[in-house]
Amino acid sequence: MTEHDIELSVNGTEHELTVESRTLLVHALREELGYTGTNVGCESSTCGACTVHLDGDAVKSCTVLAAQADGSEIGTVEGLAEDGTYAPIQEGFQKEHGLQCGYCTPGMMLAANDLLERNPNPDEEEIREAIEGNLCRCTGYQNIVNAVEFAADEMDGGAEAAADGGEPVEGTRTSEDERSESSRRTKQVEGDD
């Protein structure tokens, strides 16, 4: 089997490794470099559990050969938090109950974070479109949408404060009460069989 010497920058840390030609990026990240937050699900680009950022774009790492990523900057779920502080998307998933079993969560967070980097104030339709390539068998998606809205509000509040030279302010797009009411209505609809 042909091997390749490659260099990857993962969450800002430089790595040099040797991989076989057939090694997928997801396996290089998990097995060679220890970034186990990136999950292996379908290995056919269906579920999105393996989503990472590759040179600034959200990609399913089960569809990229590690050798193709040579010289690239990779972002994984482990790189979202800085200095032990949750990133807004992580805080949103926690506060809005955007996870249950958690298997899809790393990929879901990275897909959502990709959206928020491109569009800091998405509407619900844009959020649903951004995460449509990521499957979740547990939550019914509404709490995930709420989590992304929460993150957008947090990021927007931080941006407003930075522009004003002050402390972060609470976002105003969707209130926590509105998200809770939306979540309650969704649970009622899902429960009506």
How is domain 88-191 classified at the architecture level of CATH? Orthogonal Bundle (1.10)
20: β partners: 3
Give kind and range of the element (H or E) at residue 5.
strand 3-10
Q: Give the separation between CA 115 and CA 93, rounded to whole angstroms.
A: 15
Q: Do domains 3-79 and 88-191 have the same CATH topology?
A: no
Domain boundaries in the chain? Answer: 3-79, 88-191
User: Domain 3-79: which topology?
Assistant: Ubiquitin-like (UB roll) (3.10.20)
Is the confidence at residue 183, as pLDDT, over 50?
no
- State yes or no: pLDDT of 169 exceeds 70: no
pLDDT digits (tens, 9 = 90+) for 78-113: 999 988 899 999 999 999 999 999 999 999 999 999
